[in-house]
């Protein structure tokens, strides 16, 4: 067992949890704060803790409440060219920090929304290296919107950005295939593919070899399946998985979160896998995934708990915002 956490880890920090207190998730603890200034400060401290412990990849979005704003201010205090920032466009945060809000976000994949959100996101330069469509779907029509795709190509050329997509849903495999074949002026547009992948939804494994053969960078999100990998009496059908995860956690002296992250690292070897840490302690616990490697038999056991993507996403849709 290795005891040293390397610098510039495979783990990156996704900032949704430090930008808005509610998300589609099963939380083990409440994300309490006394004021928005207090919430901003906790977000800042989480970013700094991640940085101090070797994380150099930070993923954000305008749809994450205060996250992009806090990250813009924080990164400007650094003078470190090893920092990489990725942001996204296409969602607007609408809950105004009200846990009882009917709608927490609105998706809009128009050229107007792209232009509007870019004006703020560009403040992340020169650390901004990756610009992504936030949750690209067939329904939004964004992969057929030539005005949007041409604008992204122009940004790619002008600012030396890598352009990507993030995917969710039971048909993310098909969306990825379409994105792979998207070209502007005979050049592939997308080089970054941020995908949902975890012990329950392993559908992306079917395309991982193709992505790597084409030199695409794969980034894993939702490695903890929105909290469903933690023991929960509401999910008795996962009891055998919970038992196995706890046994592995005990064996390696880490939390279940680290086992879940390590699974993604060992099975996909992604460019980055995102921690969704909401505080400094979560950062420390998540980074323990860098201190061990699962045995082949353990990986195969965990792989056996995959579920049908339609089942996975139907169950996810029933999760509350909390």
Print pLDDT tens along the chain (322 aa). 344 455 679 999 999 999 987 655 555 555 566 688 898 999 999 999 999 999 999 999 999 999 999 999 999 999 999 999 999 999 998 877 776 666 777 999 999 999 999 999 999 999 999 999 999 999 999 999 999 999 999 999 999 999 999 999 999 999 999 999 999 999 999 999 999 999 999 999 999 999 999 999 999 999 999 999 999 998 999 999 999 999 999 999 999 999 999 999 999 999 999 999 999 999 999 999 999 999 999 999 999 999 999 999 999 888 765 5
Would you say 126 and 117 are in contact if contact means Cβ atoms under 8 Å apart? no
The dihedral through the CA atoms of 13, 64, 257, 299 has a sign that is negative
What pLDDT score was predicted for residue 181? 95
Q: What is the pLDDT of residue 3?
A: 42
For residues 96 and 102, what is the distance between their CA atoms, to the nearest angstrom?
11
Q: How far is residue 210's CA from residue 214's CA, in Å, rounded to a whole number?
A: 6
Q: Which residues contact 94 (CB under 8 A, 6 or more apart)?
A: 101, 103, 104, 105, 106
DSSP codes joined into one string, 118-186: HHHHGGGTTTEEEEEETT--TTTTGGG-HHHHHHHHHHHHHHTPEEEEE--STTHHHHHHHHHT-EETT
Compute how many other C-beta atoms are within 10 angstroms of the C-beta atom of residue 116.
15
Q: Quick check: 34 and 107 in contact, CB under 8 A?
A: no
Q: Are strands 272-275 and 190-196 parallel, antiparallel or unpaired?
A: unpaired
pLDDT of residue 317: 85
Cβ(59)–Cβ(110) below 8 Å? no
For 105: left if phi > 0, alpha if psi spans -120 to 50, otherwise beta; the answer is beta
According to the model, what pLDDT value does residue 101 have? 67
Q: What is the pLDDT of residue 21?
A: 77
């Amino acid at each position: 067992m290795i005891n040293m956490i390397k610098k510039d880890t495979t783990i990156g920090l996704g900032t949704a949890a430090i930008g808005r207190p509610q998300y589609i998730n099963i939380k083990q603890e409440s994300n309490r704060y006394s004021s928005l200034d207090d919430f901003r400060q906790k977000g800042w401290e989480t970013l700094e803790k991640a940085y101090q412990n070797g994380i150099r990849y930070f993923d954000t979005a305008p749809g994450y409440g205060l996250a992009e704003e806090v990250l813009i201010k924080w990164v400007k205090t650094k003078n470190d060219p090893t920092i990489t920032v990725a942001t996204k466009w296409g969602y607007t945060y609408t809950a105004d920090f009200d846990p009882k809000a009917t709608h927490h976000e609105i998706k809009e994949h128009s050229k107007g929304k792209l232009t509007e959100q870019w004006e703020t996101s560009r403040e992340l330069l020169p650390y901004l290296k990756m610009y992504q469509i936030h949750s690209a779907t067939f329904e939004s029509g964004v992969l057929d919107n030539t005005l949007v795709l041409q604008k992204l190509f122009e940004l790619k050329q002008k600012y030396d950005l890598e352009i990507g997509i993030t995917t969710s849903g039971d048909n993310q495999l098909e969306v990825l295939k379409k994105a792979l074949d998207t070209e502007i002026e005979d050049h592939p547009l997308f080089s970054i593919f941020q995908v949902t992948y975890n012990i329950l939804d392993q559908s992306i494994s079917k395309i991982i070899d193709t992505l790597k053969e084409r030199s695409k960078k794969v980034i894993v999100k939702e490695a903890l399946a929105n909290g469903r990998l933690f023991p929960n009496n509401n999910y008795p059908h996962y009891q055998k998985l919970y038992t196995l995860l706890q046994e592995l956690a005990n064996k390696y002296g880490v939390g279940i979160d680290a086992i879940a992250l390590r699974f993604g690292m060992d099975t996909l070897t992604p460019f980055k896998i995102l921690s969704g840490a909401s505080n400094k302690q979560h950062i420390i616990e998540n980074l323990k995934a860098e201190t061990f490697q699962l045995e082949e038999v353990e990986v195969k056991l965990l792989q056996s708990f995959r579920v049908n993507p339609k089942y996975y996403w139907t169950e996810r849709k029933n999760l509350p915002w909390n």
